[in-house]
Amino acid sequence: MSSRELLALLVVAAPALAAAATVVAPRRAVHLVATVGAIASAVAAAVLSAVALSSPGSPLVGRWVVVDAAAGLLVAVIGVVGLTAVLVSPAYLAASPHGLVRAERRPRTFYGLVFGFWAILTAIPLAGNLGGAWLLVEATTAASALLVGFGGKPRALEAAWKYLILTSLGLGVALLGIVVLAAGSSHGGLDALSWRALEHVRAGHALVAYLLLLAGLASKVGWAPVHNWLPDAHSEAPAPVSALLSAALLPAVLLVAWRSSQALTPVIGASAAQSVLVGFGLLSLAVAVPFLWQAMPWKRLLAYSSLEHMGVIALGIGFGTPLALAGVAVHIVGHALAKALGFYAATPLLGHEPRAAGHAVRGIGRTQGPLASVLGVSLGALAGLPPSPLFASEVLIVAGGFAAGRPWTAATAAALLALGFLGLAHALLETIAGKAHARDRAAPGLRGVVLLTGVAVPCLLGLTVAALWLPGSAIARALVQGIR
């Protein structure tokens, strides 16, 4: 076993061990054990990411493990979101003392599920086999469904069941595509589903299998028109879980679709492979825009923003040029930072304004300035308001569409992005400076979220600067080359 394979194993094992430690830890030490486990898991993820991104031109692509630039990028994102989710969890648990689990077991159960979910998420971008990746994606469903319904309210339980059923049905369709691919392979056993072996699949039914695979994975990524679970699950889940779902789970599953497209391009052709992704991207943008123009609760607004941003990433992957894929890399990281921050702000927001659970919030800047600054940074970045890195990434992706010879598609995407920006910009103004309701409640957990914002802002600005350098870098070239 090589050093990179050992490091990949450590990155997955660290949150798994943390899950076990929190379950058996004494009641008074659960939060401390969870914090230590999260820091150790994030450090392991950072080391692997540094190794992968420092030598992007020489990836490890084995039968069961892949350590390349895309894996390094996603592992880093999952590590950061996982760490911050654990750090803000005490505030959520204190603000929501009731749920499916008895109070004395609540922290143990919550942290155990979060760390278990984290471990599975980390394994997805490192999986060197399509069959193994599918199993890991399916495994996330059980852990995350329990977390979505953790609050125990009827709406949360309904959202959890909806998420469980719809994504399981979608993954069943993806499994059918995998079976078709395995049947058309000249290799035997699970080796037929390794990323490099997929290019040797017989062409007869490869396109049908690819369509089934991506249509099934779309239900988990949250692409339209199979995104129905996403608004409910993201808005009803605990705030730290919503951040993991949106900022980590969606792009991790999207990476499986990306790898599948790259692996099957020699069989079905680049045009067909990329057109499917472009189609999902445009449709997701078109469906998201009308919702972004509506007044809706904070977490639900963020959920529909996830639909838009997963569509943007699908477009970038579909265009497939160095410009577009550099934009994809920036977009994944920028979206994760801004979206996680927005969901973490939901805990103090609901404490300060309980109506925010079911209604659009207005005028937070008039009653709680620090909280308004957090909401403003998150929503401004997600809207693509300069100097947000998401503005830079969207420019790169649209420019990559023109470079790929798809001018009409790129122009349509630019128009939809402009409409989405206007909707989110209006929501930003109303949230910060609109007519305020009378409020005299505290905002639990606000100090921690403000501290995270202080760290996130320079990271977001640094990412904007990095977007200027990335298109001509070795990382962008490695993303274009992929696992071939």
Condensed to tens digits (0 to 9), the pLDDT of residues 125-156 reads 999 999 999 999 999 998 899 999 998 888 99
d(CA 166, CA 219): 7
- Top mean-pLDDT range of 115-124, 177-186, 203-212: 115-124
d(CA 242, CA 340): 8
Angle at 179 between CA 175 and CA 185, to 5 degrees: 140
Residue type, position 22, single letter: T
Considering all CA atoms of the chain, what is the largest pairwise distance in Å, rounded to the nearest integer?
69
d(CA 410, CA 271): 16
Domain presence at residue 457: yes
Domain presence at residue 285: yes
SS3 65: strand
Residue 133 near residue 174, CB atoms below 8 Å: no
Domain presence at residue 433: yes
Domain presence at residue 328: yes
Q: Tell me which residue range forms the domain holding 303.
A: 269-484
SS3 294: coil
Domain presence at residue 372: yes
Retrieve residue 219's tokens.
């239900």
Domain presence at residue 39: no
Residue 63 near residue 129, CB atoms below 8 Å: yes
Domain presence at residue 126: no
So what's the pLDDT on residue 384? 95
pLDDT, tens only, 261-280: 999 999 999 999 999 999 99
Domain presence at residue 62: no
Total domains present in the chain: 1
User: Where residue 441 falls among pLDDT bands split at 50, 70, 90?
Assistant: low
User: Where residue 286 falls among pLDDT bands split at 50, 70, 90?
Assistant: very high
Q: 38 vs 44, 82, 84, 85, 114, CA distance in Å? A: 10, 7, 8, 9, 10
pLDDT, tens only, 370-420: 999 999 999 999 999 999 999 999 999 999 999 999 999 999 999 999 999
| pLDDT above 90: residue 330 | yes
The model's pTM is 0.96
pLDDT, tens only, 95-111: 887 777 777 788 999 99
